[in-house]
Amino acid sequence: MEEKFKAIVNDNFEFSLNSKDLEMLDVISDNKKANIIFNIKSVEVETLESDFQKKTYTLSINGNRYQVKIENQLDVLISKMGLSLGNASVEDEIHAPMPGLILEVNVSEGNEVKKGDFLCVLEAMKMENTLTAPRDGVVKSVNIVKGETVDKGKMLIEFQKND
Across the range 142-153, mean pLDDT stands at 93
What pLDDT is attached to residue 46? 84
Model confidence at 78, pLDDT cuts 50, 70, 90, reads low
Q: Is the predicted pLDDT of residue 82 greater than 60, yes or no? A: no
What sign does the CA torsion over 48, 52, 57, 60 have?
Answer: positive
Q: Where in the chain is the domain with CATH 2.40.50.100?
A: 83-159
Q: What average pLDDT is seen over the chain?
A: 82
- Give 93-118 pLDDT, tens digit per residue: 898 888 899 999 999 999 999 988 99
56-61: strand order across its sheet: 13-18, 4-9, 64-72, 56-61, 41-51, 33-38, 26-29
Residue 147 burial class via C-beta count within 10 angstroms: exposed 0-12, middle 13-18, buried 19 and up? exposed
Model confidence at 89, pLDDT cuts 50, 70, 90, reads very low
CA angle 116, 122, 128 (to 5 degrees): 85
User: What CATH number should be reported for the domain whose range is 83-159?
Assistant: 2.40.50.100
Model confidence at 85, pLDDT cuts 50, 70, 90, reads very low
What pLDDT is attached to residue 159? 92
Model confidence at 147, pLDDT cuts 50, 70, 90, reads very high
Alpha-carbon distance of 158 to 87, in angstroms, equals 12
Cβ–Cβ contacts within 10 Å for residue 134, how many? Answer: 20
The DSSP letter of residue 146 is T
- Give 10-63 pLDDT, tens digit per residue: 888 888 877 777 777 777 777 678 777 777 788 888 888 888 777 888 888 878
Alpha-carbon distance of 149 to 31, in angstroms, equals 39
The DSSP letter of residue 114 is -
Kindly report the backbone phi and psi dihedral angles of residue 77, in degrees, each rounded to the nearest multiple of 5, phi listed first.
Answer: -60, -45
